[in-house]
Amino acid sequence: MFKVSRKSEYALIAIQHLARRARDGVTSVAELAQAENIPPDILAKVLQGLKRAGLLTAAKGAGGGYRLSRPVKEIHFLEVVRPFEEQLCVVSCQNDHGGCERGGDCTLRDPMTVLNAYMLRQFADLTMDMFLSPHKLLHGTHMDVAIGETSLGRLTSTAHPAD
Partner DNA sequence: TGAACTCGGACCAAATCGGTCCTGTTTCAA
Partner DNA sequence: TTGAAACAGGACCGATTTGGTCCGAGTTCA
Interaction site with ligand SF4 (CB under 6 A): 9, 91-93, 100, 102, 106, 108-109, 112
> 39 contacts which partner out of ligand SF4, its own copies, DNA, none, CB within 5 to 8 A by kind?
DNA
**Shorter beta-carbon distance to DNA: residue 65 or 93:** 65
Query: If binding is defined by CB under 7 A, does position 36 make contact with DNA?
Result: no
For residues 7 and 42, is the Cβ–Cβ distance under 8 A?
yes
Query: If binding is defined by CB under 7 A, does position 41 make contact with DNA?
Result: yes
**Shorter beta-carbon distance to ligand SF4: residue 3 or 23:** 3
For residues 15 and 80, is the Cβ–Cβ distance under 8 A?
yes
User: Which stretch, 64-72, 75-83, 117-125, 144-152, contacts DNA (CB under 7 A)?
Assistant: 64-72
Query: If binding is defined by CB under 7 A, does position 97 make contact with DNA?
Result: no
**Shorter beta-carbon distance to DNA: residue 48 or 141:** 48
Residues making up the chain, counted from first to last? 163
Tell me the pairing of strands 56-59 and 65-68: antiparallel
End-to-end CA distance of the chain: 38
Among the listed residues 45, 53, 99, 122, the single contact to its own copies using CB under 8 A: 122
Query: If binding is defined by CB under 8 A, does position 12 make contact with its own copies?
Result: yes
Query: If binding is defined by CB under 8 A, does position 147 make contact with its own copies?
Result: yes
Q: Buried b / exposed e across 13-30, counting CB within 10 Å, b at 16+?
A: bbbbbbbeeeeeebbbbe
Phi, psi of 9 (to 5 degrees): -65, -45
Which helix (H) or strand (E) is 30 found in, with range?
A: helix 29-36
